[in-house]
Structure 1
Amino acid sequence: MPGYLTKQENIAIAGVDDLVIRSLLDRQQFSDPLGDAETLGISSAAWPLFGLLWPSGAQLAARMAARPVQAGERILELGCGLALASLVCHRQGADVTASDCHPLAGTFLRENLRLNGMGTMKYRQGQWGSGEALGPPQQDESPLAQAHGGPVHGLFDLIMGSDLLYERDARASLAHFIDLHAGPAAQVWIVDPDRGNRAAFSKQMAAQGFGLREERLDRAALDDAPAYKGRLLVYRRT
């Protein structure tokens, strides 16, 4: 037994076939017998958040489903959690790397790839606020990083994420991390459910040389789809 309970659902995303997703049963789940999450600074309250489906993640997945695959493009998802957007990209044939700091994110990704009959997808450990976010990638990886995919490395043409601005980031760690891994002509797509840290993050991105375009994603409740309020933040190097 893994020490936590899961459920399995069919998730409908406009424009693509449904995905079968295994997720945590609820926010009450917790299992960190070896202390891996604690070592990474993940509290017991934050532990289950990676393994739940979030409305902003579904919004990002729908946007990626509508976006044509571009030959030679490298895509990185930050804070992927259950990696819904990455799974959509992978199914469409894109070169995508999912990343998260949670020690079980890679395990859930592999299981959801299996459930959907998909081949292997690249997964890396992505944790801004670590030494990597503030300087060049290090050659010596910690045993924990090696066990969970190794750190994110290289440059990407599109960096995407959802619900990343949930806490104040006074050190601009996320903006630094993005700048480190964004190619010269990269775009950054972040779906944000109107978090209060959005303005500060955009200023930090501007300091890294990124301009911003915003698009409202507000949607009224329709049939089984709940209402949503948020926006797509699109950053480009200026």
Structure 2
Amino acid sequence: MWSLFGQIWPMSKILARIMLQEPLEGKRILEIGCGIGLPSIVLKQLGGDITASDYHPLAESFLLENTILNSLAPIDFQAGDWNTDNQNLGEFDLIIGSDILYEPQHIELISSFINHHSSSHVDIIIVDPGRGSHRKFAREMESLGYIHSWTDLRDYPNGGIKSKGFILRFSRHGEYKEGMNSD
């Protein structure tokens, strides 16, 4: 299978650190491309209502083992294939992901997936290592009605994690969804 699966990536560590500062109360949270689930585990430890998703066939079993190792109740897991519509997911108030913009041809799929599973009041946090797809992704999200801001990781206190890249934040606080007028 994919040889890059099954490890903790620097962007995942940074996303987990960011989650320590995020307001979580009353929010339904989705981690996309969760891998082995470090940010989801942190959110579960903080009492967050977290659902993890990934396309890799081993992600669910790795996540379950990691929750057991951390003495946590299982985290809800749903298959996260960006090419298909997962009716079981529903909509979320906070959607997070790390290092998911690695295939330029997936930008439209990812943005559409996020939009489909976003509530009308949603915040999105993507931590990206800066492989060059973040600008195209931001433009795609803005075309769907999201407001965009970013932080360069060189300007972010990473707790000793030396990394280049960006924290991308998107939000929508209204009724706009693709195909609707934003007025």
TM-score, scaled to structure 2: 0.87
Aligned residue identity for 1:83: G
Aligned mates of 1:119, 1:125 — CA distance in 2: 19
CA contact (8 A) 2:107 2:136 kept: no
AA in 1 matched with 2:19 = M
Structure 2 gap segments, 5+ residues each: 174-183
Q: Is residue 53 of structure 2 the alignment partner of residue 99 of structure 1?
A: yes
Cα distance in 2 for residues equivalent to 1:106 and 1:60: 19
1:142-201 residue CA offsets vs partner (Å, 9 max, x unmatched): xxxxxxxxxx52000000000111111267111100000000010110001112111111
Give the corresponding residue for 1:112.
66
8 Å Cα contact 1:73/1:94 also seen in 2: yes
What amino acid maps onto 1:126 in structure 2? G
Alignment of 1:27-176 (within 5 A): 44=1, 47-70=2-25, 72-128=26-82, 130-132=83-85, 137=86, 152-169=88-105, 172-176=108-112
**Which residue among 152, 157, 169 is the counterpart of 1:234?**
169
Superposition deviation, residue 219 in structure 1:
6.7
- How far 1:203 sits from its partner (Å)? 1.1
Distance across 2 between alignment mates of 1:59 and 1:177: 23
Are the counterparts in 1 of residues 97 and 126 from structure 2 also a CA contact under 8 Å? yes
- RMSD of aligned Cα (Å): 2.0
Task: Answer yes or no: is 1:206 the counterpart of 2:159.
Answer: no
Distance 1:122 1:170, change over 3 A: closer
**DSSP-derived class of the 1:67 partner:** coil
Query: Which residue, out of 180, 192, 198, partners 2:116?
Result: 180
Q: Matches of 1:81 and 1:105 in 2, distance apart?
A: 6
Q: Per the alignment, in what secondary structure is the counterpart of residue 34 of structure 2?
A: coil
Contact 1:219 / 1:228 at 8 angstroms: preserved in 2?
no
Contact 1:87 1:113 (8 Å CA) reproduced: yes
SS at match of 2:20: helix
SS of alignment partner, residue 171 of structure 2:
strand
Q: Determine what percentage of the aligned residue pairs are the same residue.
A: 40
Judge which range, 161-170 or 118-127, deviates more.
161-170
Higher Rg of the two aligned structures:
1
| Structure 1 consecutive aligned stretches of length 4 or more whose deviation exceeds 4 Å | none
Query: Would you say the 8 A contact 1:219–1:227 is kept in 2?
Result: no
Change in 2 beyond 3 A, CA 1:177/1:64: same
The gaps in structure 1 that reach 5 residues or longer are 1-43, 139-151
* TM-score, length basis structure 1: 0.68
